[in-house]
Amino acid sequence: MTLRHRHLLGIEGLAPPEITAILDLADDYATLNRSGDKHREALRGLTQINMFFENSTRTQASFEIAGMRLGADVMSMPMQASSIKKGETLIDTALTLNAMHPDLLVVRHPQSGAVNLLAQKVNCAVLNAGDGRHEHPTQALLDALTIRRAKGRLHRLTVAICGDIAHSRVARSNIHLLGKMESRLRLVGPPTLIPAGAADWGVEVCHDMVEGLRGADVVMMLRLQRERMDGAFIPSQREYYHRYGLDAEKLAHAAPDAIVMHPGPMNRGVEIDGTLADDINRSVIQEQVEMGVAVRMAAMDLLARALRADREEGVV
């Protein structure tokens, strides 16, 4: 299986069989990652450059590990020390890097759409590692893999995505993915944190946690993304936790075998109770991190195959 895309910019443009192909390959890589010899040669000879214009712990680390396990030459640009600080534009930085012949460019940027723009200027494969509040495709894929491994399927599940939907690229990518895979989606949060028009996305919108969690198979919590808020969106952190923070009492309204997810970084006592987040019988938060490496290996492997095919045909 190859992808018919040069880049992975979002889930919106992917077809369900492509999503399944990435997840199937990622499942194989998850097995490899638990073994003693984690090396494969899928990206051998290729250069991967990571450009993170926004802070990141797990996404950047897992892209680095994924590239190294598949034999790529991996370089993470120290963006704090780069020429961006001297006034160079994103596009100029991209063109400079492009001249060094990278094959895979992994980009995170605070502005929605910035990664798509950059992809038009370079002749390698670009992977979106999160752009503003737009998309974060590898996060939705790793969430899907975690759900599929826990529940055995992605269709006909009730998934409650809770909290700060308005500022979340994770929510947007998950809504695309789970919608395409025919799961039932509920967005749960205060009216100020649910985008206007969300009701037209083919999802249910709830402003009450008990109602929103009722019978849910999957409960996905989101961080309050203060760095993207300009003004007061919640009355107080305490009040928010009381109404929308996930604890055992609220979770009791979900299905008895519901799993709890969070993309991280997590704010304990703000959107989720710390004890619940650590409860290995309910929380799959660590599995999400584990699947992150596997999904990024699969995505870069498939994009590299497409890139090599394009190069053979002289398209790039």
Q: Using CB under 6 A as the criterion, which residues of the chain lie in contact with ligand NCD when the complex forms?
A: 58-59, 130, 136, 139, 169-170, 223, 225, 263-264
Cα distance between residue 253 and residue 92, in whole Å: 52
Cα distance between residue 303 and residue 8, in whole Å: 8
H helices then E strands: how many in the chain? 11, 9
Q: Which residue's structure tokens are 């203060």?
A: 226
Listed residue (133, 116, 126) closest to 50, CA to CA: 126
Which of 203, 270 has the CB closer to ligand NCD?
270
Which of 139, 283 has the CB closer to ligand NCD?
139
Cβ at position 154, least distance to ligand NCD in Å: 20
Closest residue to ligand NCD using C-beta atoms? 223
Which of 102, 163 has the CB closer to ligand NCD?
163
Packing angle of the helix pair 16-33, 137-151 (nearest 10 deg): 70
Cβ at position 301, least distance to ligand NCD in Å: 21
Cβ at position 251, least distance to ligand NCD in Å: 20
Cβ at position 187, least distance to ligand NCD in Å: 16
Which of 171, 206 has the CB closer to ligand NCD?
171
Cβ at position 228, least distance to ligand NCD in Å: 9
CB 47 within 8 A of CB 77: no
Cβ at position 136, least distance to ligand NCD in Å: 5
Cα distance between residue 121 and residue 62, in whole Å: 25
Count CB neighbours of 184 within 10 A: 18
Which of 45, 265 has the CB closer to ligand NCD?
265
Angle at 55 between CA 51 and CA 57, to 5 degrees: 95
Which of 184, 263 has the CB closer to ligand NCD?
263
